[in-house]
Amino acid sequence: MAKRDLNGKIVAVVGATGGLGREIAAVLSERGAVVVGANRSGGSDVVVDLRDSEAGQALVDHCLGAHGRLDGVVVAAGIVAFGDLADTDDVVVEELLLTNAMGPMWLAKRATPALSESQGFFVNISGVVADTPMPGMAAYSASKAAAAAAFEAIRRELRRSKVQVIDARPPHTETGLATRPLAGTAPKMPTGLSPRAVAERIVDAIQEGEAVVTADAFGS
């Protein structure tokens, strides 16, 4: 398979102002892509709240209106919560599932026509907990595992359209997300990976035509 050329490609990065999204946007730009930043609270090209099922359409419409095409989407937005499930409020569980699982699925649905036209790519970052659920993070692990399962199926559904679907599962990364949990307090964790290194590996996966980037593929 030929290496995907990113030069001039229109790529939307959701979570573009976050610790990892910012680095992914930078790497994409360095490799020639035109990045459209999207963020829940503003400060980027488009406001996208993954909890809103129609938010993805606004992002697609912006890209098509401003650039005439959409070649790729990277979802680098997400939330985390800590604590045993028995002690976790129902609204927190719902928020995790909406943002980490339903939101990326809704966005993929809205982006599919444009990505099919361009034979582009869609990247979701589910993380290592999709494979290795952690005690004290049951709801968070479930939300990421749900997303990983969904994108495995979506990959097969879009195979004929030649849309590359990637599920990236990096281990703990120093994005600062664990210091801003929706609920609970993060357990003590070893130093995580550099966001820049993780971003470069994800963009490599886009260019090399990979489908699932497991935790061990990120090195240490």
What is the CATH number for 193? Answer: 3.40.50.720
2 within a domain of the structure (yes/no): no
**Given this model, what pLDDT does residue 220 score?**
65
Task: Judge whether 3 lies within some domain.
Answer: no
pLDDT confidence of residue 2: 77
Residue 195 inside a domain? The answer is yes
Q: What is the pLDDT of residue 41?
A: 85
Is there a domain that residue 97 lies in?
Answer: yes
- The reported pLDDT for the residue numbered 33 is 98
Tally of domains in the chain: 1
Is residue 90 assigned to a domain?
yes
Query: With left for phi above 0 and alpha for psi between -120 and 50, is residue 73 left, alpha or beta?
Result: beta
Task: Give a yes or no: residue 86 inside a domain.
Answer: yes
Per-residue pLDDT of the chain (220 residues; tens, 9 = 90+): 679 999 999 999 999 999 999 999 999 999 999 999 999 987 789 999 999 999 999 999 999 999 999 999 999 999 999 999 999 999 999 999 999 999 999 999 999 999 999 999 999 999 999 999 999 999 999 999 999 999 999 999 999 999 999 999 999 999 999 999 999 999 998 999 999 999 999 999 999 999 999 999 998 6
Q: Give the C-alpha distances (Å, rounded to integers) separating 123 from 72, 111, 165, 173, 178.
A: 8, 12, 6, 17, 22
At 43 the pLDDT is 78
- For position 140, what pLDDT does the model report? 97
pTM (two decimals): 0.96
Q: Is 1 domain-assigned?
A: no
Is the residue at 4 inside a domain? no
Give the structural domain span for 35.
10-218
Sign of CA dihedral 106, 23, 117, 158: negative
* Amino acid present at 62: H
Q: Which two tokens stand for residue 2?
A: 């030929």
